[in-house]
Amino acid sequence: MTYLVIGSGSIGTRHHANLTALGAEARLLPWRGLDLTELKAAMRDATGAVIATATDIRLPLIEMAAEADLPLYIEKPLAFRPSDVATLYDVAAGIASRSVLGYMMRYHPVIRAVHAERPDLYGFTLQIGHDVRQWRANWRFADSYAARAEGGGVLLDLCHEIDLAACFVPDLQVTGVDCVGHADFPGVDFATRIGLAGSATGTVAMDYLSPVFARRTVLEGRAARWELDLLASRADRMTGEGTDSQTYPFERNDMFLDLMRDFMALAEGRAPSDNPLLPRLDLCRASAELVASAWDKRTFHGTLTGGFA
């Protein structure tokens, strides 16, 4: 069983290490300088492939994999234009039920526990913020994919929260997207607030600016109100009778490992885990379209200066 990991940045390196830790033979292939003829031949002999490249260069890779009938683990987001989402789903139709999108937050123990209660929601707020300059050692924002007008910005980078909103309220549509940009990076959103509405209404907010890393979710339901701290792995369930607080064992890489195990099971023809939120590609189209729709509807307001060039 051989797996290809295409893209040798931080996320590709993580996936390669996790495949190896799970006992698979894995090849890490840097995108720069990659010979596509050799890659096409390698795909014919592989069990599965991970696509961890920049979002805007994935279509030819997915086309090659589909031609080789090769299951894929595709890093999020799938695409940032609605028309590209449609094209990619057409191209990947034959492998979609054996492929996954990289929404590993669906394996977070707090998300799984609260989702299992099937909360009857009428409102929600999801928020994530962190100073992007603190993310990695020896890393510069201006040199990264995130600084690109085409396929960069915080909305795409931190789109897990949009996906989680869709997990709890599957019929969501985007009502508006308000962004703060930066004078040195035209077209790149640094702080974004997304309005969403369906059977419940709410917002998703994300930013590259917060001096304190925060990842919190509030779910408002008729039976209870949940306040979730995804960094502390804690859920507070509030009712008229009081608050029940629960903290869950949590290690961030465990989510990546759990999703990789499920991908390997799908690629190898075995049964995956019982996670009802398994981000199988054929089941994630609504979420992928929601992310692309949000990116397409961004409206820029304030403009930052300095500090990121």
| Ranges assigned E (strand) in the chain | 2-6, 25-29, 48-51, 72-74, 100-101, 121-129, 173-182, 191-197, 201-207, 214-221, 225-229, 234-239, 242-247, 298-304
Domains in the chain (CATH in brackets) are 2-103+257-281 (3.40.50.720), 105-250+289-304 (3.30.360.10)
- pTM of the shown model: 0.96
Query: What are the respective helix, strand and coil percentages of the chain, to the nearest 5?
Result: 35, 30, 35
User: Average pLDDT per run of 10 along the chain, which is 309 residues long?
Assistant: 93 97 97 92 97 92 97 97 97 98 98 95 97 82 90 96 98 98 96 98 97 97 97 97 97 98 98 98 98 98 91
What distance in Å separates the CA atoms of residue 12 and residue 140, rounded to the nearest whole number? 18
Q: What was the pLDDT predicted at 213?
A: 95
Residue 131: how many CB atoms within 10 A of its CB? Answer: 15
